[in-house]
Copies of this chain bind each other. A is one copy, B any other.
């Protein structure tokens, strides 16, 4: 079965909102093993919506609509589909009851046009809306399946998860399971990674291997199909083993993890605490770290030493260092790492200094970065990098390299507890 996701709403075509529904539903359908070949967005215009439906029927078995189920005049999804598939629109008493309750609960007055939302396509299977008014619908006509879902993600997502997903699962023939796994890499470009495993990507069909690059990271999505789930998983394991035997040194985690999550995980495992001195990153490392709940158990704190004055006054970088080697230097980075860990009384000190741009600094080109790591009295690593991209891209990659180096350093040391 292959599907097409059709979002209805002029606000999408005006760029007022992003079509996150298409992403959510695509993930869900991938889990169900349903291929999504197209996303379409069309405005609140019955002619163009009708044309989009006919188009989709010609190329897809399963049409999923989001939006256009609201109470206002420009909400026309139900009406247009009803006319197209020649079905009546009928009042659904249960839905009407829910809407009435919804208004009682929220102490608002129900208007006539709200009742419109309780009208459904006859013969359709109703998906209750527990977070809003418009119910969803699933309709089968000959070889096509039509699912209508509300536009607001707050209503659509829980509705799909609780009612849509199980319903589809039961309709699919169950004799094939699809399992998927994402391998995450850092420190290697997409082109180079792909060159390393080109033969696998070209030759393999089960699992399939799909590369994707973003923000200096590369991911490989492995997707396997088999009658037995165990066998499908075994196929993933085997392919993963082959891939990691070639590019394992750049691998850092699975699925939706991040370098920062992995860094925090290993800091926790080793029973350590960390503090941070940030010059060019201006607080980004600590902000990213503290975005993770529970960060306070591991991050003591840190200093944003954006000026040389702050480096000298607060983190006691030696005057000679600043004058002779400069703030953008390995020596400055290692003093920052050591001194922040003693100031904050943490096991680990990590520091970032360099040139984010737009202008060069101390004669160093934009993208020159020093990262230093100090662990329990030892200078473990001080690394110079040359990064490309915008000011923000350089800062983001600097933080990612910091996590990456930290993970690799900590892997080498023994647990404390």
Contact = CB atoms under 8 A, between A and B. Distances in A.
A36 interface: yes
Contacts of A158: 390
A203 interface: no
Interface residues of A, number: 118
Number of copies: 2
A26 B12 contact: yes
B282 A14 contact: no
A38 B36 contact: no
Interface string A270-286: 00000010101111111
Interface stretch (A88-96, A237-245, A307-315): A307-315
Contact of A389 (B11, B20, B154, B309): B154
Interface string A38-75: 11111101001001100100010000000000111110
Q: A interface, by DSSP: helix, strand, loop or mixed?
A: mixed
A304 interface: yes
A246 interface: no
Interface of A: 7, 10-20, 22-30, 36-43, 45, 48, 51-52, 55, 59, 70-74, 102, 105-109, 111, 113-114, 131-132, 152, 154, 158, 189-192, 194-195, 198, 201-202, 210-214, 219, 221, 276, 278, 280-287, 289-291, 293, 295-296, 299-307, 309-310, 313-314, 343-345, 356-359, 365, 367, 385-393, 395
Lowest 10 A-B CB distances belong to which pairs?
A: A282-B290, A283-B283, A15-B26, A15-B27, A301-B310, A39-B41, A106-B388, A283-B286, A283-B287, A284-B287
Given A12-B23, A131-B389, A313-B343, 17 more contacts: A14-B26, A14-B30, A14-B221, A15-B36, A17-B214, A38-B42, A40-B41, A55-B55, A71-B194, A72-B194, A74-B210, A281-B290, A291-B395, A299-B307, A301-B310, A309-B344, A314-B343
